[in-house]
Amino acid sequence: VAALGAVEPPLLSQVSATLRAVTGCEVGRLPELARPAYAFNKDRAQFHVAAILRRLAALRGKEAAVPVLGVTDADLFVPDAPFVFGESDRSELAAVVSVARLRGEPPVEAELLLRRISAEAMHQLGHLIGLLHCQDARCAMFQAQRVADVDRKRPGLCGTCRTAAGLTE
Ligand SMILES: [Zn+2]
Ligand SMILES: [Zn+2]
């Protein structure tokens, strides 16, 4: 897990704790990286996910089997969507999630934001370990289109997804 620019420390801690709790795997922390200015698109005033994923993938170096997840407050986009909560590249084992659309206006309380970013981080890590989208609206692998969808989720995986990922109860 790596912060891309300044991110509140509790967010990173909570994301790490959630990923560790759900997968049972060790979750390490990389040094903070710069806010992804290289990915900024002036016309959209947003940050292009593909450029960020390439940088994150390059960070992994030779340790090919360890997924890397970036957490940022930069507002992310892909060309065919107004925004994304996060994105992943399974072949590169790299993913990124953003709090930009999860924070809300006015900003939600810290606890709720932690829950939201944890669910979306687990969603992207789920893709990196081979999971597809899930129909269970309470599962982290449900595809959230709106913040309300995120709020219905729990940060964990449903039984079907756990089995699919080879995780034991
Ligand atoms: Zn997804
Ligand atoms: Zn599921």
* Nearest ligand to the C-alpha atom of residue 128: 1
Q: Average of pLDDT values for 137-145?
A: 97
Could you tell me the distance, in angstroms and rounded to a whole number, from the CA of residue 162 to the centre of ligand 2? Answer: 7
Q: Above 90 in pLDDT, residue 169?
A: no
Question: How remote is the CA of residue 134 from the centroid of ligand 2, in Å?
Answer: 4
pTM: 0.95
- Report the percentage of the chain scoring pLDDT > 90: 92
d(CA 61, ligand 2 centre) in Å: 31
Q: Output the CA 35–ligand 2 centroid distance in Å.
A: 32
Distance 132 CA to ligand 1 centre (A): 7
Per-residue pLDDT tens over the stretch 57-96: 988 766 668 899 999 999 999 999 999 999 999 999 999 9
* 15 and 29 Cβ atoms separated by less than 8 Å: no
**Residue 34 binned pLDDT confidence (cut-offs 50, 70, 90):** very high
pLDDT of residue 132: 98
Looking at residue 81, its pLDDT comes to 95
Query: Which whole-number Å values give the CA distances from 160 to 7, 58, 111, 117, 153, in the listed order?
Result: 33, 32, 28, 22, 15
- Other CB atoms within 10 A of residue 106 CB: 5
How far is Cα of residue 36 from the mean position of the Cα atoms in its chain? 15
From the CA of 133, the nearest ligand is: 1
